[in-house]
Amino acid sequence: MKVSRRIETLGQGVFARNDLRKCAYKKNTIDSTKHNLIDLSLGSTDLLPPPLVIEEISKSLGDPASSSYCLHDATRPFREAVSSWAQERFSVTVDPDKEVLLLTGSQEGTAHLPLAVLDPGERGLILDPSYPSHLGGLLLADAQINRLPLRLENNWKPDFALLKTSELEQLRIMILGFPHNPTAAVGDQSWLEQAMDIGLRNNCVVAHDNPYVDLALEGEAPALLRCQGWRSCGIEFFSFSKAWCMGGLRIAFAIGAEPLIAALKDLKGVVDFNNSLALQRGAILALTEEAHWPRQILEIYRDRRDRTVKAFDGIGWKLPLPSMAIYLWLPIPSWALDRGLQDESMAAELLDKTGVALTPGSGFGQGGSGWLRLALVRPVSELEEAVERIGKWWCFEN
Ligand SMILES: Cc1ncc(COP(=O)(O)O)c(C=O)c1O
């Protein structure tokens, strides 16, 4: 059966291959001497959402309104809570009716946005490496794609000077995201100011994917809402998945320029209805009564980061200290490169020999090749066990 050219372009990629390997590994562990799987390959946390939020969702599920389709008007309490949160968090006044949109995820929002704002063949820019929905959204919208390489030597700063003036003039959308998955760099407000300046001068949408805004371990996370001009061409995506540990519950939101919110809302009107009222009520509680939750979570990740980086140091694998929570970004050691291992083959070998699943960096773009991503989504004891197993493999191979 023929499928669309778009689907063929999306391809299966590194993530799907990694998933298949994990499934095969799990099957193998059933009656063999292989280690149990320690899965550190997904940014899906073991930490729990605030109990009050879960109680509110459970209670609200009994309300018949929660099982009805939810039209835009019914989402007003949620949008008002978002607007108050933005006022509190960034001292910015946001119109809940025109500048806020409920989303299923920051992934869903960033993937749909290019379809809402680009015509086929128009040009979009992503960071390389970057979260896969940024590329996927542009591919689905039949966009031409510019990839802006991020480099460790530059402290992962996007160097817009690499783009020619003619390229900047053709850009219709830029998709950025700091704190940055996968490099685990918090980034800097001035980088967004620069992007916004380019956006305003070239009539280009500046989209900022910011699900980690509350998870900076060092310094302050940048936010597009702090840039002058976001009301002209900016849109920022926030999520409950990371800081409130609600990834599986699927709820997020965008705040942005009125025409961009309107376009995304129209697009989503074709694709789905809004999330259930029960979920929205839980999310309202997260933004209000449980606004302190991210700070607690942050300290847990700080402890995990410090202990895991120290454990890696102990086996001789030196890592740059990440400035955001949840991820470590591991450079493949030169001896492994000399042995011909690349990120995907090294992830496969580590899984096979140690039972530890990591993500090959090239899953985030060419700029991620030569790196592995480790998500700090298990308790410290398991993280230390993972490093210990890797250490044994390291001694044997090196
Ligand atoms: C940069 C980035 N954007 C979006 C997402 C997905 O967020 P959500 O659960 O809100 O769809 C992730 C998840 O890892 C991410 O790292």
Going by alpha carbons, the residue nearest to atom 12 of ligand 1 is 107
Query: From the DSSP assignment, how many helices (H) and strands (E) are in the chain?
Result: 15, 12
Per residue, what are the HEC states of 75-129?
HHHHHHHHHHHHHHHHCCCCCCCCCEEEECCHHHHHHHHHHHHCCCCCEEEEEEC
- Give the phi and the psi of residue 101 in degrees, each rounded to 5: -140, 130
As a whole number, mean pLDDT of residues 228-255 equals 98
What is the pLDDT of the chain when averaged over all its residues?
96
Domain extent, residue 341, equals: 12-41+293-397
pLDDT at 31 over 70: no
Nearest Cα to Cα of residue 186 among 212, 211, 160? 212
- pLDDT digit string, tens, across residues 321-370: 999 999 999 999 999 999 999 999 999 999 999 999 999 999 999 999 99
Q: Is the pLDDT of residue 4 over 70?
A: yes
Which residue owns the Cα nearest ligand 1 atom 14? Answer: 43
Distance between CA atoms of residues 238 and 211, nearest Å:
5
Q: Look at the pTM and tell me if it is higher than 0.95.
A: yes
Which of ligand 1's atoms lies nearest the C-alpha of 109? Answer: 11
Instruction: Please check whether residue 224 lies inside any domain of the structure.
Output: yes
Same-domain pairing of 168 and 297: no
Centre of ligand 1 to C-alpha 236, Å, is 13
What single letter denotes the amino acid at residue 35?
Answer: H
Residue bearing the bigger pLDDT, 187 or 26: 187
Same domain for 102 and 238?
Answer: yes
Show the DSSP H helices in 118-247 as ranges.
132-140, 165-170, 189-202, 230-233
Report the share of the chain in percent with pLDDT over 90.
92
Residues 106 and 227 in one domain: yes
Domain end position, chosen among 269, 287, 305: 287
| Cβ contact 174:202 at 8 Å | no
In this predicted structure, what is the pLDDT of residue 13?
A: 74
Tens-digit pLDDT profile for residues 46-83: 999 999 999 999 999 999 999 999 999 999 999 999 99
Query: How do residues 147-182 score in pLDDT, each as one tens digit?
Result: 999 999 999 999 999 999 999 999 999 999 999 999
Q: Which of 235, 266, 287 is the last residue of a domain?
A: 287
Scanning the structure block, which residue is given the tokens 């309202």?
284
Q: What is the structure's pLDDT at 398?
A: 77
Give 390 Cα–ligand 1 centroid separation in angstroms: 28
CA 103 to ligand 1: nearest atom: 10
Q: Give yes or no for residue 56 CB within 6 A of ligand 1.
A: no
